[in-house]
């Protein structure tokens, strides 16, 4: 109840807070008229009018004339003078999409659940419509969109620009994703693996700032990782490096969706956790497991801890191979916090105890589940200016590094 | 065969779940038209059950029986384990079943607050507008709804926002089961996204959600269980995690028969005609 609607004072001390409220409300809705802004923030129309005027003079907001309920109204959006970039993240069960200006200030954002094994053509069409809708919402023209970054929660093959392993995102196999999205949106498109982009995003804006040799581990329904070496994502020979989730940690172990046996993902991934618990709780989802664990359900706590221990084994192996300074854990399951991180840290510390150098720090990501989306925005912004030269060759487009 | 019999250790079983709402053998006819025949349906708390089927499969009739619009001809309904009758909409609502119909049934000329509390106004001597507005914001915030203002008439809102208001209205009184009839039909892509998020939010709040939809992508995105009706009968009850798009379409069109085994026929088996062996 902390956010009860109250009429805030108009003292100068509150002015900063009120500015924040207005910018937040505009961000949340994409665009609002001043009257609606007054309703949404609980500020008086006069205050809203003053602050909007001030912020549009300083270039934070922009206003345009509009009509609401037959009356003239001032439509307020975030300013985006330098053009816009779009970031899209397709994971197994979720779509995230955002529009941002080239300094990565998000001006409009949507997320929605997706069907298991959703089909790429439907979703790309959906993205096309969402982008048009969002552009209209922030009163931007089509040609203000400079570039699109697409993050896919699947390994990407650099040469073909397609998903490199079958069984991971089934609806996307055999589709030259960059080309198809480019044809739909008619702007340059950059496609990359979501864990690589999450690593880049955390490196630029989050928990990996200043850490050039580091690693991002994504634990959601599946498990993936992005490896940063000297500040750049390491992609390997074919572009499919960082398939952390498909390291075999139990020889001849359980069947993984990639077709292999004993992959980390088949033992400690979100789907594996849910499947293991499904005999006890029917109709469980990963978010329920986390909520239950946080509420003190011992079975769920144990399931997450076991997953953490297995991830720890794999992380320790990677750590002795690449010697990262820090490992950031993100993805859905990272919401469980120390319930997951604690066991990972414990196993990694124990495995690397004999080293002279300290074991890598294991911390939670700062960007949360949005990391890949922010990364997609960041690569899109990076390539929005320099792109035309590269636009012709798909291999360059995928191989960002 | 050894004489020793192995007695399995008692395994601590899963905590038994009782459905919030359970329909057993529901039938309904309109004159000569048999709309529903022997329908079984269970709805658990914190679960999204999608009911899918072709036009005329009986989806809306099923919803109307739960909403108390039509009483069932035959069969029983149990609510939280207790047998109940739902003769009219008031009873349905009092039990804790909230229904959002396809046409939303909002008053276009009234604002969001008035619509939310229509018929259930918070009032002392006069209407407590302040309190109602506060509660309206609270509710919309819990649903992470993108409504710009609660004091605009419904006519000024987009389709998705109207759907949000209708769903928010159904939540007043904290129902156990929320029934959504075609919530994403006639919505734009961004509004559809909003409504699907809203359904997830309802599920997280622990409501049992019944979703009627024609859109398989939407159904598969949010549903935990998918119940297929075909020509007024059950034709499959799938866990969403274990079923593909094609299986559902096959059940909807009748290419596969997943219906529960038919009861023994009440008439004697036909006599064999032909030479006796």
Question: Best-predicted range by mean pLDDT among A74-78, A388-392, B222-226?
Answer: B222-226
In a domain, B88, yes or no: yes
Between A23 and A127, whose confidence is greater? A127
Average of per-residue pLDDT values in chain A: 86
- By residue range, what is the domain housing residue B25? 21-107+158-253
Pairwise CA distance, residues B37 & B34, whole Å: 7
Task: Give the gap in angstroms from C-alpha B200 to the nearest C-alpha of chain A.
Answer: 8
In a domain, B216, yes or no: yes
Cα R_g (chain A), whole angstroms: 23
Task: Give the gap in angstroms from C-alpha A93 to the nearest C-alpha of chain B.
Answer: 7
In a domain, B263, yes or no: no
Sequence-ordered alpha helix ranges (H) in chain B: 59-67, 89-95, 112-116, 129-142, 159-171, 189-204, 216-222, 245-253
What does B20-79 look like in DSSP terms, one character per residue?
SEEEEEEEEEETTEEEEEEEEEEE-TT-EEEEEESTTSSHHHHHHHHHTSS--SEEEEEE
* Count: domains in chain B: 1
Closest-CA residue of A relative to B151 is A39
In a domain, B175, yes or no: yes
- pLDDT of A25: 82
Q: Which among B151, B190, B225 has the least Cβ separation from residue A110?
A: B190
- pLDDT of B276: 55
In a domain, B264, yes or no: no
Residue A379 has pLDDT above 60, yes or no: yes
- Put simply, the answer to whether B221 touches A32 (Cβ < 8 Å) is no
CATH number, domain of B60, equals 3.40.50.300
- Put simply, the answer to whether A40 touches B148 (Cβ < 8 Å) is yes
User: What tens digit of pLDDT does each residue of A57-111 get?
Assistant: 887 888 888 777 677 888 888 877 678 999 999 998 899 999 998 888 888 889 9
In a domain, B39, yes or no: yes
DSSP at A62: E
Residue B53 has pLDDT above 70, yes or no: yes
Sheet of A71-78: strands edge to edge? A31-33, A71-78, A61-68
- Put simply, the answer to whether B152 touches A118 (Cβ < 8 Å) is no
Residue B265 has pLDDT above 80, yes or no: no
Percent of chain A with pLDDT over 90: 42
B97 Cβ contact list (under 8 Å, min separation 6): B21, B66, B67, B79, B86, B175, B176, B177, B179
In a domain, B11, yes or no: no
Over residues A216-238, the mean pLDDT reads: 90
Closest-CA residue of A relative to B200 is A113
Pairwise CA distance, residues A399 & B20, whole Å: 52
Pairwise CA distance, residues A233 & A242, whole Å: 9
Using CA atoms, how far residue A201 sits from A337, A397, B270, in Å, is 20, 18, 73
Q: Does A39 touch chain B (CB under 8 A)?
A: yes
In three-state secondary structure terms, A16 is helix
DSSP at A128: H
Task: Give the gap in angstroms from C-alpha A84 to the nearest C-alpha of chain B.
Answer: 19
User: What tens digit of pLDDT does each residue of B114-128 get?
Assistant: 999 888 888 878 888
At A180, the pLDDT band (50, 70, 90 cuts) reads very high
Interface confidence (ipTM) of the complex: 0.77
In a domain, B3, yes or no: no
Contact map slice: A 139-168 vs B, CB within 8 A: none
- Put simply, the answer to whether A283 touches B225 (Cβ < 8 Å) is yes
Is residue A117 within 8 A of residue B244, CB to CB? The reply is yes
Q: Is A376 exposed, middle or buried (0-12, 13-18, 19+ CB in 10 A)?
A: buried
Residue B135: which of B161, B111, B168 has the closest Cα?
B168
Over residues A225-239, the mean pLDDT reads: 88
Q: Where are the beta strands (DSSP E) in A153-213?
A: 189-193
Q: Which among B150, B219, B222 has the least Cβ separation from residue A39?
A: B150
User: What tens digit of pLDDT does each residue of A146-155 get?
Assistant: 999 999 998 8
Pairwise CA distance, residues A34 & A350, whole Å: 58
Least confident of A101-115, A300-314, B11-25: B11-25
DSSP at A305: H
- pLDDT of A101: 86
Chain A environment of B193 (Cβ under 8 Å):
95, 110-112, 130
Between B210 and B260, whose confidence is greater? B210
Q: Where are the beta strands (DSSP E) in A243-356?
A: 326-330
Over residues A236-259, the mean pLDDT reads: 88
Percent of chain A with pLDDT over 70: 92
Closest-CA residue of B relative to A37 is B148
At A9, the pLDDT band (50, 70, 90 cuts) reads low
């Amino acid at each position: 109840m902390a956010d009860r609607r109250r009429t805030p004072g108009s003292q100068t001390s509150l002015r900063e807070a009120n500015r924040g409220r207005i910018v937040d409300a505009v961000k949340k809705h994409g665009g609002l008229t001043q009257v609606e802004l007054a309703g949404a923030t609980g500020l008086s129309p006069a205050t809203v009018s003053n602050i909007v005027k001030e912020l549009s003079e300083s270039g934070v907001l922009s206003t345009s004339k509009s009509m609401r309920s037959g009356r003239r109204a001032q439509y307020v959006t975030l300013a985006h003078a330098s053009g816009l970039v779009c970031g899209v993240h397709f994971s197994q069960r979720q779509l995230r999409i955002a529009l941002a200006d080239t300094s990565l200030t998000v001006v409009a954002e949507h997320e929605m659940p997706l069907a298991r094994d959703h089909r790429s053509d439907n979703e790309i069409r959906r993205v096309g419509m969402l982008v048009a809708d969002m552009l209209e919402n922030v009163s931007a023209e089509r040609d203000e969109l400079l570039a699109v970054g697409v993050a896919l929660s699947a390994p990407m093959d650099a040469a073909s620009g397609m998903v490199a392993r079958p069984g991971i995102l089934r609806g996307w196999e055999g589709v030259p994703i960059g080309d198809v999205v480019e044809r739909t949106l008619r702007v340059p498109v950059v496609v990359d693996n979501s864990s690589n982009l999450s690593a880049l995003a955390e490196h630029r804006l989050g928990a990996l700032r200043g850490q050039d040799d580091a690693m991002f581990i994504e634990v959601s329904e599946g498990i993936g990782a992005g490896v940063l070496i000297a500040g750049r994502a390491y992609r390997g020979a074919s572009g499919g490096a960082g398939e952390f989730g498909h390291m075999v940690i139990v020889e001849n172990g359980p069947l993984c969706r990639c077709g292999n046996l004993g992959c980390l993902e088949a033992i400690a991934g979100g789907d594996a956790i849910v499947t293991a618990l499904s005999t006890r709780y029917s109709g469980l989802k990963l978010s329920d497991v986390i909520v239950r664990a946080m509420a003190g359900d011992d079975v769920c706590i144990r399931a997450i801890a076991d997953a953490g221990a297995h991830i720890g084994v794999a992380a320790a192996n990677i750590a002795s191979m690449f010697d990262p300074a820090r490992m950031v854990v993100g993805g859905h399951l990272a919401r469980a916090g120390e319930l997951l991180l604690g066991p990972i840290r414990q196993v990694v510390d124990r495995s690397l105890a004999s080293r002279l150098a300290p074991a890598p720090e294991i911390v939670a990501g700062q960007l949360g589940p949005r990391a890949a989306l922010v990364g997609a925005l960041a690569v899109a912004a990076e390539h929005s200016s320099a792109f035309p030269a590269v636009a012709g060759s798909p291999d360059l487009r995928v191989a960002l590094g | 065969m050894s004489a020793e019999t192995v007695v399995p250790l008692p395994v601590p079983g899963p905590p038994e779940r009782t459905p919030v709402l359970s329909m057993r053998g529901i039938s309904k006819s309109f004159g000569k038209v048999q709309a529903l025949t022997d329908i079984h349906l269970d709805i658990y708390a914190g679960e999204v059950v999608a009911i899918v089927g072709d036009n005329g499969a009986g989806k809306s009739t099923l919803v109307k029986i739960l909403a108390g619009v039509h009483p069932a001809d035959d069969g029983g309904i149990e609510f939280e384990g207790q047998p109940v009758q739902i003769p009219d909409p008031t009873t349905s609502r009092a039990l804790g079943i909230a229904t959002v119909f396809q046409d939303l049934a909002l008053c276009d000329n009234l604002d969001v607050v008035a619509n939310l509390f229509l018929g259930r106004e918070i009032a002392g001597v006069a209407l407590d507008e302040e309190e109602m507005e506060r509660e309206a914001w609270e509710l919309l915030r819990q649903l992470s709804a993108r409504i710009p203002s609660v004091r605009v008439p419904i006519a000024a809102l987009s389709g998705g926002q109207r759907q949000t208001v209708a769903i928010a209205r159904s939540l007043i009184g904290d129902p156990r089961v929320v029934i959504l009839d075609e919530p994403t039909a006639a919505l734009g892509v961004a509004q559809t996204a909003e409504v699907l998020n809203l359904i997830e939010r309802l599920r997280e709040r622990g409501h049992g959600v019944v979703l009627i939809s024609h859109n398989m992508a939407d159904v598969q995105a949010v549903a935990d269980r998918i119940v297929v009706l075909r020509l007024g009968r059950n034709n499959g009850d799938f866990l969403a995690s274990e079923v593909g798009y094609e299986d559902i379409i096959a059940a909807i069109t009748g290419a596969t028969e997943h219906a529960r085994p038919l009861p023994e026929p009440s008439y004697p088996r036909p006599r064999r005609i032909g030479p006796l062996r």
